[in-house]
Structure 1
Amino acid sequence: MFTYSMPVVFLPNWTRNYLPFWQWYINGWEGIFKFARKMIDMKMEAIQKRLDANQEVAGEYLTYLLSNVKMSSKDVYGNISELLLAGVNTTSNTMLWALYLLSRDPEAQEALYQDVTRVLKGDGIPTAQEVNSMPYLKAVMKETLRMYPVVPMNSRLIAENDVVIGGHFFPKKVNHFHVC
């Protein structure tokens, strides 16, 4: 599926009926959704078992999505699938670059170690509140993403008005691709 992402993004929509990569791209997404549906169904069964045993299930993202009355089951499956897909490579690449940068700067390594050990006292998974209490960790991740953006390009819709940036004119309501 990733192999066919670039042609899908850059070639005009009318080419999709004539070139074979479009069906391959669709088949790739269908495989991902099928796998995600299986994983989500397993998680929903586990949540139901916890509910049946009067155990708490609050704080889980899937529980939040399922309790959102505005989302259909299809929307939940789609959101979780995209989250799983986007989270794997982006997270691993970001961590790889962060470790690389830290390996080149022993002082930064030590500062990060002190920041983390100041907050975490055991081997457990840190809570969101604990992570928020680690400003150096946040700075390391932001600097890593600044130096090595995980997404090689993104798209934004230009604002309601025409814009001139650095002498370049961008008309309103036009998709602008930024390539890193």
Structure 2
Amino acid sequence: MYEYARGHPGLVQIKEGPKISRQGIYKVVLESRGHVCRLRNEDDARAMSQSVLTGLTWLHKGGYVHRDIRLPNILFVPGVANYKYVLIDFEHANVGGLLVSEQLKDWDNKTLTKGNKYTSQSDMYQFGKMLENLNIINSDDGKRFLNSLKNKNINSANALKHAWFK
């Protein structure tokens, strides 16, 4: 997954790894360096969303899903002209559409399909839920965007064409 993400905006970049030591420790050396993602207003949320959705579009195009979209898994990378935010932590990432045996902490009864599978639309739903919980998206276009995400009516590529980004 890290190799697939290499060179693509909105996704963490690595120097080396992943490696598992003899002690069973999972290690990845990151190329991307950043800060905790702190969003102050709707414009910040929009900029972060554009970066993360650009990364998700690439992952989904390759048949992958992130599965753990939460604010702690998004870094702000200062000094970058475009795509100042990157999605990190591919520990739970996998190919999309697999049957799920256990749920992650932030999932709810709408995250998975009726067949108990995690899909790219599950990523979009989780992203929408995360954005909504920030309580900083108040414009009409922003609210429509959130509804499209949470209702699983929009994929990552189409999300970037939404009126909220214009």
TM-score, normalised to structure 2, is 0.25
When you count helix as a share of all residues, which structure comes out higher? 1
Relative to total residues, which structure has the larger strand share, 1 or 2?
A: 2
Greater length-normalized contact order (CA 8 Å, ≥ 6 residues apart): 2
Which of the pair has more CA radius of gyration? Answer: 1
